Structure 1
Amino acid sequence: MSFQLKLNSDERSTFRLHLAYMLIEGFVLGVLALNEFVFLKSIKGSNYQLGLLFQFSMIVFLFLILINEFLKRIKNRRKLLRIAGILSRLPLLVIFFFPNNEQAYQNSTFHIVFLGLFLIYFAGNIFINPNINYLLKSNYTHSNFGKLYSYATSSNKIVMLVVTFIYGFVLDIDNYIFTFIIPIMGIMAIVSVFVLSLIPQPEEGRLANSAGIFSSVSSSIKEMRDILVSNVPYRHFEIGFLMYGFSFMISVTVITIYFYDGLNLNYSSVAFYRNAYNILAIVLLPYFGRLLGNIDPRRFAALTFSTIALYIFFVMITDYLPYHFELYGVTIYYTLILYVVFHGLFASTMVLLWNIGSAYFCRPEQAGTYQSLHLSLTGFRAIFSPLLGVLFYELFGFTVTFAIAIFCLLSAMLLMRWSYKRENKQECLQ
């Protein structure tokens, strides 16, 4: 690896820690890949509660608008990461005390507790995710950033692939094994954050801002606003992401409902559809990591948005072409094979674009602020999108909901292409 990419000593040590973090997170995310289906099938949560579970994973980022200045003031990011990891992941151990019978889950208390535990878990990400970008952008060179990130992410997805398949198989044997597995993943999630915190921080000795915290928060919000006003390519990028995010959020929960209510799939089948695409993503991630480093992020975004539009399309037409076969207890629909293919393309591009795409619009020292802004806007669209998806489904059905999502994605693709061509035209005129 180091020979092929000619890494310096900082990059080598950072990559080892980054890779270890991603491998451990692969176990955690492999289990959480089935979390929403567990909530529906085993815990018997409602459709709107399912929408809230997904909403929580995104809406917490809205608070980055307020805490961005706090993050910039932190001198010891290692300590911050460790505290955030413990406080947000340790509560998952409560799930160990959840009951192992269906009748108990008629009590909505367990639904509320489950949602609350994962709201706390997701809240930890507002401290962890911006620091990932900050630490990696500060230790990786620009030319190797996307490549190294893609290699670590490919490894993460290999672990996810294996874990999700095994977890789905075990859940079909015992629908309540999650009461044992999720607490273990909570401990592993703490360990992963501790590993991440070992990545060197480049600015240990910087001086704290002398302004008051409220004044600084106001300045931080103004800074974010100024970025959107002055950095036109980035503004277009985020508007495109707003349309993409709306489409993704209204469709992802409804696809889970469709797998449960529309197709009546078992855990093994859902594990297949939620995870088989990672095989393709693993193969393609290194290629797309290099591609993102060589083309404008808006062109990359247009490609990414096209892949999700296609995978939603193939889910949508499954209702009209419900041909399938059984293989080792997995129900395989022919149209959903194409869903898996395009989901693989989407997974191998969006994981790069969402996590590090914003860093290509700024200087290294601004990466944390740009990613905080990017994640804050993610939280903004999460205020309404997931529950709107459930509402559209209950009012209009699966087809109309998926069609709305596809239309928004096509609009986002056109915006990205227009923005890139517009900037190139202006540069030529100058």
Structure 2
Amino acid sequence: MSFLHLPTASLKLLGAFVSSFHPRALRPMLRRNYARELTAWAFLPLMLAGIQAGTMGVVLKKGFEGVEGLGENTIDYAVGAIAASAAIGNLSSGLWSSLATGRRKVPFLTGLMIATTCCVVLMTFIPWTAFGAWMLVSLVVLGWIFWSGVVTIRTTVWRANYPDADRATVAGRIATVQVLVMALAGLLIGYALDRSMESIRLVFPLLAVFGVVGAMVYSRVRLRGQSRLARAERTGSASERASMNPLMILRVLGEDRRYAGYMACMMVFGFGNLMIGPTVTIILEDEFQTDYLVAILITTVIPLAIMPFAIPIWARLLGRMHVISFRAVHSWAFVTASLLFLIAVEFRLLPLLFVAAATLGIGFAGGMLAWNLGHQSFAPPHRDTQYMSVHVMLTGIRGLIAPFIGVLIYTSFAQAGHPGLTFAVSLGLNILGALGFLLLRRQLRRDDHPPAAEPS
């Protein structure tokens, strides 16, 4: 191909990529709901940027640094709290699953979207004081408590509305739109705050308006077999329902040993990943003194902007294999990202941080799909919400601890003059988790293809 034809070929490739998102790319029976969901997820991520951990961690660290009543370590642990916010919200997933049992899912989800939007609009009134810092942290955490219900319950909608062969593709397209829009919102927030801290009084109400529009569009989604699903949830045994009772987690994992092994590997692997976010945010200010836009680029925009290019690849891979086999491949993206962060921080290589952020985005792309759909490789349809609730609650437990451990480890290594060694701990945990997935894949293959019996 000559260089003269490269622009034309690039436009055709871009056109094919964009057209793949059109409802006509799916079977007729799936198009109406898909079109409504895709439209809703073009608006909702703009609102979600107002509680996104990477962006809001930067706002907290830079905006409240030096404020009277907030020591340096206090701010760092507050950044850890923001990094843990999604996971803290996940601890409430059992409550939302229990409340949604036997109820209409779409109106329930719409209400949670509006509640999250209210947390974003309240950011408008944050003062630049110690009280304002804790108000910001509280609103981010509360927003993620509401949003965890959306994350937990929407998989039931996807399972009902999209067959197995299409589900990963649809989830991938929705995720692609979501991350692109959220990346755009992160750029907007960074650009605005670099010009004036008071721009939050305009930006956050605007984000909230988009959230309301997205929720209104989503309210028109129809769940196939709603009555049948609600009846099955109401008539199912109590042991098959999601709840806040920790014994529910133990019961599910005790009944499904393969799922228990998968959750154990996710606990180790995910712990390492959850340590990365807050330490990167703190290091960008303490070690590199970046401005808002550069910090948000590394913590939020670059990972999100890379994800659309990786999601279709991961979606095809996940669509043709068990999630255990998928994780045995996908987990090494996070191993690579941890290694790059380690090198970049230890040797003060700011450009390498951009590469590490992009690698992290590749890992996030596959992680988003596997996190939302992976439990369906184990769960029967009527227990989908219960299995997802177990997964979400365990994510919440490690997410409640890991960011603070990450900040504590960073503080120790930074005092010794080696802040980058924080990522050596993440790297070790990532490698242990990845090796665990490889062992689970070997066992999965043995169970699915047992050796032939010797002839007698």
Scaled by the length of structure 2, what TM-score is found? 0.83
* Alignment: residue pair count: 413
Greater relative contact order, per chain length (Cα 8 Å cut-off, separation 6+): 1
Counterpart of 2:144 in structure 1: which amino acid?
A: F
Q: Aligned pair in 2 of structure 1 residues 49, 69: CA closer, same or farther (>3 Å)? A: same
Conserved in 2, the CA contact under 8 Å of 1:85 and 1:194?
A: no
Calculate percent identity across the aligned residue pairs: 16
Number of the residue aligned with 2:273: 248
Q: Secondary structure at the match of 2:321?
A: coil
Counterpart of 2:442 in structure 1: which amino acid?
A: K
Q: Aligned pair in 2 of structure 1 residues 19, 312: CA closer, same or farther (>3 Å)? A: same
Counterpart of 1:385 in structure 2: which amino acid?
A: A
Give runs of aligned pairs for residues 261-280 of structure 1, distance below 5 A.
261-273=286-298, 274-280=300-306
Q: Aligned pair in 2 of structure 1 residues 82, 182: CA closer, same or farther (>3 Å)? A: same
Deviation track 1:130-172 (CA, whole Å, cap 9, x = no partner) reads: 2210101110010111111111221222223333223322221
Give runs of aligned pairs for residues 347-366 of structure 1, distance below 5 A.
347-366=364-383
Number of the residue aligned with 1:411: 432
Using the TM superposition, name which of 249-258 and 420-429 deviates more: 420-429
> 4+ residue runs of structure 1 moved beyond 4 angstroms?
1-6, 210-223
Q: Aligned pair in 2 of structure 1 residues 366, 195: CA closer, same or farther (>3 Å)? A: farther
Give, in whole Å, the separation in 2 of the partners of 1:161 and 1:98. 23
Instruction: Establish whether residue 24 from structure 1 lines up as the match of residue 43 from structure 2.
Output: yes
Conserved in 2, the CA contact under 8 Å of 1:71 and 1:127?
A: no
Number of the residue aligned with 1:343: 360
Number of the residue aligned with 1:84: 112
Give, in whole Å, the separation in 1 of the partners of 2:372 and 2:58. 25
Q: Secondary structure at the match of 1:383?
A: helix
Instruction: Establish whether residue 203 from structure 1 lines up as the match of residue 226 from structure 2.
Output: yes
Number of the residue aligned with 2:208: 186
CA displacement at 1:215 relative to structure 2: 12
Give runs of aligned pairs for residues 8-407 of structure 1, distance below 5 A.
8-9=28-29, 11-31=30-50, 32=52, 33-44=54-65, 46-73=75-102, 75-99=103-127, 105=128, 107-201=129-223, 202-204=225-227, 206-207=230-231, 209=234, 222-273=247-298, 274-323=300-349, 333-397=350-414, 398-407=419-428
Using the TM superposition, name which of 143-152 and 353-362 deviates more: 353-362
Give, in whole Å, the separation in 1 of the partners of 2:236 and 2:107. 23
Counterpart of 2:151 in structure 1: which amino acid?
A: N
Counterpart of 2:38 in structure 1: which amino acid?
A: L
Counterpart of 2:41 in structure 1: which amino acid?
A: M
CA displacement at 1:256 relative to structure 2: 0.5
Scaled by the length of structure 1, what TM-score is found? 0.87
Counterpart of 2:443 in structure 1: which amino acid?
A: R
Q: Aligned pair in 2 of structure 1 residues 69, 29: CA closer, same or farther (>3 Å)? A: closer
Could you list the runs of 5+ residues in structure 1 that have no partner in the other structure? 100-104, 324-332
Give, in whole Å, the separation in 1 of the partners of 2:315 and 2:348. 36
Give, in whole Å, the separation in 2 of the partners of 1:150 and 1:343. 17
Conserved in 2, the CA contact under 8 Å of 1:389 and 1:401?
A: yes
Q: Aligned pair in 2 of structure 1 residues 3, 66: CA closer, same or farther (>3 Å)? A: closer
Conserved in 2, the CA contact under 8 Å of 1:27 and 1:163?
A: yes
Conserved in 2, the CA contact under 8 Å of 1:302 and 1:412?
A: no
